[in-house]
Amino acid sequence: MLASLTPCLRQSSETGVPASCSFRIPMICSSVKRLRFILWSSQWARAYFKMDYFNGARSRLVVPDNLKSGVSRASFYDPEINRSYGMMASHYGVGVLPARPRRPKDKAKVENGMRFAQSCLLGRLRKQTFFSLAEANAAIADVLERINNHVMRRLGVSRRHLFETVERAALASLPAEEYEFAEWRFARVSTDYHAEFRSFFYSVPHALIRQQVDIRATARMIEIFHRGKRVAVHQRRYGGPRYGTDPAHMPSSHRRYAEWTPERFRRWGASIGPQTEGLIVAILASRPHPEQGFRTCLGILRLYRDLSRERAEVVSARAVEIGGLTCKTIASLIATHKALRHSTEPAAVMEHANLRGPGYFH
């Protein structure tokens, strides 16, 4: 059984910003043995099965609250279990019987456990500051160990003793492999053949544009399904570039464009000569984004097809000198032969009888 208390604040030592997390109480009802830990709200569904591995065995039934993380639609007769939570329960062979909405008596022992946790657990830790979930959970484990080993006044035995002597034999064994938690989402493929998951975009075959797909996300991988068939697999992204694109998913025209890189254009320029390489580098550096200069570079390299290397080098040097970093300027330099004029040569002094020399002014 699980219940959520008021979120606790745990401070991050890196940013100094308090982070909100949830306090969870899974409980085995007969012995009232408790397992408490703090986790992020998105990890709600994993809390039940953390209890199983803590105990070394699994329950056959669980009675969760009606959070959307576990129950998509609450109903006493036909509840709709969240897909991610349901698949995890199926892996462990656990039946899910959600409590009725606004019926705290359906989980009375957990309601009592919440009161107990607030007074006996949070009360002891309220003045401490934690900088990670692991640090907070370690402190909780120390207190929890004493609580479970404490001899109850009415029964004369501890919760741990009741669990070992009564409940352990009734629990089922754990599966050979631990379940890798996966989150499922629906998404519609956009016109750029990418599907979005948590603000990152993953490509699918371009033929699926505007189609609805299912996304299965684990901690490491993103799998995308269309009508039950897996159509794409990506490594999950948490930072860096927001787009993960498989070249095999691109249309042929996009694939050719994807092969354009600043380094490739620089090599093309270097194959003609150092002046042309310098022109390419200058063009790419003059744009806010290098990709904006790709077409200009491509156009210049096409203009140079009919030129000798020597003339192309002269044109490139002149273009850099005057700051003419466009195809139009390069074409003009080629057409008017301005590139052949060496700006470094001094202008010739004209000799004429009507021209007065410097001696005239002395």
Q: Is residue 177 part of a domain?
A: no
Neighbours of 52 (CB within 10 A): 21
Q: Is residue 284 in some structural domain?
A: yes
Token pair of 78 as six digits: 């036909």
**136/23 same-domain check:** yes
Q: 195 and 78 in one domain?
A: no
Q: Which residue has the higher pLDDT, 48 or 144?
A: 144
Q: What is the pLDDT of residue 29?
A: 62
**21-30, 265-274, 289-298: segment of lowest average pLDDT:** 21-30
Last residue of a domain, one of 119, 139, 170: 170
Res 184 pLDDT > 60: yes
| Residue 274 pLDDT greater than 90, yes or no | yes
Last residue of one domain, picked from the residues 229, 250, 271: 250
Distance separating alpha carbons of residues 355 and 361, to the nearest angstrom: 13
The pairing of beta strand 61-62 with beta strand 95-96:
parallel
Q: How confident is the model at residue 207, as a pLDDT?
A: 92
pLDDT at position 251 over 80: yes
**Per-residue pLDDT band at 4 (split at 50, 70, 90):** very low
Above 50 in pLDDT, residue 45?
A: yes
Same domain, 19 and 92: yes
* Average pLDDT of span 28-35: 57
Whether residue 264 is found in the same domain as residue 314: yes
- Let me know whether 208 and 313 are in one domain: no
Query: Is residue 358 included in any domain, yes or no?
Result: no
Strongest mean pLDDT among 4-18, 178-192, 204-218, 294-308: 204-218
Domain end among 250, 277, 301:
250
Number of domains the chain contains = 3
Looking at the structure, tell me whether residues 209 and 298 fall in a common domain: no
Q: Do 319 and 228 belong together in one domain?
A: no
161 and 60 both lie in a single domain: yes
Lowest mean pLDDT among 75-84, 193-202, 248-257: 248-257
Same structural domain, 26 and 105: yes
R_g of the chain computed on alpha carbons: 35
Residues 158, 31 share a domain: yes
135 and 243 in a single domain? The answer is: no
Q: How far is CA 86 from CA 46, 78, 98, 327, in A?
A: 11, 14, 12, 60
CB 209 within 8 A of CB 190: yes
For the ranges 64-78, 95-109, 180-194, 338-352, which has the lowest average pLDDT? 338-352
| Average pLDDT of the chain to the nearest whole number | 80
User: Over the stretch 189-222, which tens digit does the pLDDT of each residue have?
Assistant: 998 899 999 999 999 999 999 999 999 999 899 9
Q: Determine, yes or no, domain membership for 176.
A: no
The answer to which of 28-42, 91-105, 241-255, 344-358 has the lowest mean pLDDT is 28-42
Q: Does the structure show a pLDDT above 90 at 68?
A: no
- Pick the more confident residue, 27 or 180: 180
Q: Does position 8 have pLDDT exceeding 60, yes or no?
A: no
Mean pLDDT value of segment 174-195: 88
List the 18-24 sheet strands across, edge first: 8-11, 18-24, 37-39
pTM reported for the whole predicted model: 0.54
> Residue 228 pLDDT > 90, yes or no?
yes
**What is residue 360's predicted lDDT score, i.e. its pLDDT?**
67
Where in the sequence is the domain holding 307, given as residue range(s)? 260-340
Q: Coil, strand, or helix at residue 91?
A: helix
Tokens of 303: 């203009």
Place of tokens 């199983």: 52
Residue 245 lies in a domain: yes
Same domain flag for 195 and 46: no
Q: Is the pLDDT of residue 7 over 50?
A: no
Task: Tell me if 30 is assigned to some domain.
Answer: yes
Q: How many helices (H) and strands (E) does the chain have?
A: 12, 16
pLDDT on residue 136: 81
CA distances from 286 to 246, 289, 291, 325 (A): 30, 9, 11, 8
Bridge partners of residue 73, in order along the sequence: 80
Has residue 29 been placed in a domain?
yes
